[in-house]
Amino acid sequence: MKNIIERYKTIKKEHQVNAEIRDREVRLIGETGEQLGIVSSREALRIAEESGLDLVKISPNANPPVCKVMNYGKFLFEQKKKAKEAKKNQKVVEIKEVGLSMTIDVGDLNIKAKQTQKFLTAGNKVKVSIRLRGRQMAHAELALDVMKRFFELVKDCGTMEKQPLTEGRNIWMMLAPAKA
């Protein structure tokens, strides 16, 4: 019994195992999934030890709590494996940033638009920003026009998630990939 407790001390658990289960009686589920009924926790622990497995409290909030006879180490391994698989399959959306200028020329604007289209088709979000310098602050509406022209060039690949927004000397908008 002691070696079983020592074996799991190093593992961070969210389940109560074997001797940690202090309830008077529990609803017991066998190793193959059959219902064994409501038994005392001592009896449940004895059944688990006879089969060479662990008694694990699955549902602590039920009345009486539900315990299952299983190999706890294998159970933890399977949970970690599922979590790793889920993490591997999730898509991480990156935010790329494209900087424009209020005085940008048509050719440069087209090059930035092509790069933004590549980002959007790859599934990334794009933050488009313009930094206003000096006297450009007095003519922020010209920068908004540049933003609108830029969006017209990339609107077939993406949608405008956030309208152009002014924050101090910066004007920015957020583009998201178009839904297929």
pLDDT tens digits, one per residue of 79-124: 889 888 888 887 777 889 999 998 889 999 999 999 999 999 988 8
Indicate the fold that domain 2-86 takes in CATH. Ubiquitin-like (UB roll) (3.10.20)
Q: Please check the confidence at residue 11 and state whether its pLDDT lies above 80.
A: no
What is the overall mean pLDDT for the chain?
84
Reported CATH class of domain 95-177: alpha beta
| CA separation for the pair 132, 9 (Å, rounded) | 59
Which one has a higher pLDDT value, 62 or 117?
A: 117
> With bands split at pLDDT 50, 70 and 90, how would you rate the model's confidence at 180?
low
> With bands split at pLDDT 50, 70 and 90, how would you rate the model's confidence at 175?
very high
What is the pLDDT at residue 166? 87
- Contact between residue 55 and residue 48 where contact means Cβ atoms under 8 Å apart: yes
Q: Please check the confidence at residue 174 and state whether its pLDDT lies above 90.
A: yes
> With bands split at pLDDT 50, 70 and 90, how would you rate the model's confidence at 10?
very low
Question: What are the start and end residues of each CATH 3.30.110.10 domain in the chain?
Answer: 95-177
What is the pLDDT at residue 117? 92
What is the pLDDT at residue 107? 92
- Contact between residue 149 and residue 169 where contact means Cβ atoms under 8 Å apart: no
Max distance between CA atoms of the chain, in angstroms, equals 84
Q: What average pLDDT does the segment 15-34 reach?
A: 81
What is the pLDDT at residue 13? 57
Question: What are the start and end residues of each CATH 3.10.20.80 domain in the chain?
Answer: 2-86
> With bands split at pLDDT 50, 70 and 90, how would you rate the model's confidence at 5?
low
What is the pLDDT at residue 110? 93
Residues of the chain with pLDDT > 90, as a percent, come to 21
E-strand stretches of the chain: 25-29, 35-40, 54-59, 66-70, 95-100, 125-131, 158-167, 170-177
